[in-house]
Structure 1
């Protein structure tokens, strides 16, 4: 069955039908889901969802978007949450420079983001968990920082960097995860990267409720993404790698289970 390694079912877009939707996943060939937190509160929600559904697991962490105002008490709470048996990673954490020019007044300064990233990487090292990295328009800084923690295991979620950066990440023994973005018409760069990656380092995800794949994305202006569409990512990777969809399903599920230490 398919493994959606990154989906945000704590998002309020799922408030009207969350439980019914999640209950339907096994019947739609989705066997495993990891829900990462982006704040202390959403990390707590991710754990509650994982407790409710056997096939769900959680990651806990603070997204760089929320770097301002983070206290030591917040980091301590993430540490406490990380001890839960269904928590499989610290994340999502990282750097995000995308909004600097679009909304500079609300974008956390780079140094604040870097400080929070390092604090959570230190935490991951302390508690012995892998990390889920968010890197948006911050490729050089993010890679330089994670290289300081080359003893950790990690995955770059929704990978958007270059092939050269991907190769540097692979040298660390890390993984790359891809979303429905690779199904878009202009995804030539993603195809070039995926064609050159070893399949044993690739995972698939939806980043639900965002990044709805095609053709669902083309059906309406705003279509909510969910794990029901993760098969679209597997189909496109199969095309890029010259494999069957079944092979990609099996390999990416094995990769995800190995990375998150799920039996």
Structure 2
């Protein structure tokens, strides 16, 4: 015969093993929030008007409002899809860029880094923002940072590594002598970087156009055809990292000097 006490004990033990309704609900809410954040990230990354669509999303419900404010969502917004806002609502665009920097958005960090360096001559904070963008995979940021580091004797090797990161030949660098270098991606990133500098400096007053002074570099190239454009692609083939970065430094800063105000005392 089973006693009433034993039945009650079994029932109590079973109840203790069963998860509470509150715990189950909390777990489901966590999963739902992650899913909603994923949806918001997709909208941010693919929408033709990401800011407008995210604002509309936030207005739908509390769950969407919370998800759209997550840093991961802000990190996915491509600023190239905000060209209309940049020219028609420039103050709002700048405010959005500064806000997205807080989310470590690579495009925003790149723009702020370029502005700090080429407008405000801030060589402490500017490179930090470029490095943050480059670490997130922003090739144009890695390109500019690599060229800036090339100016310094102590950081020249690091600058070459950033340019290798742009071209994606980090692994090939270990192959040793005889490995050719191209500047396919460098050419694309150079145009992006030149446009960014021009957009950042167009309001800066003063006579523009400085003289370019190349960094002192003991590297002397003796290879025939090094840097000569190859075929219809327009990119060059280089014998070494040193020749490639020297070429890119000259190309980029020759153009950028046209946008910077000239000062005879600098």
TM-score exceeds 0.5: no
Q: TM-score, normalised by structure 2?
A: 0.27
Higher Rg: 2
Q: Which structure has the higher relative contact order (CA within 8 Å, separation 6+)?
A: 1
Compare the two structures and name the one with the higher strand fraction: 1
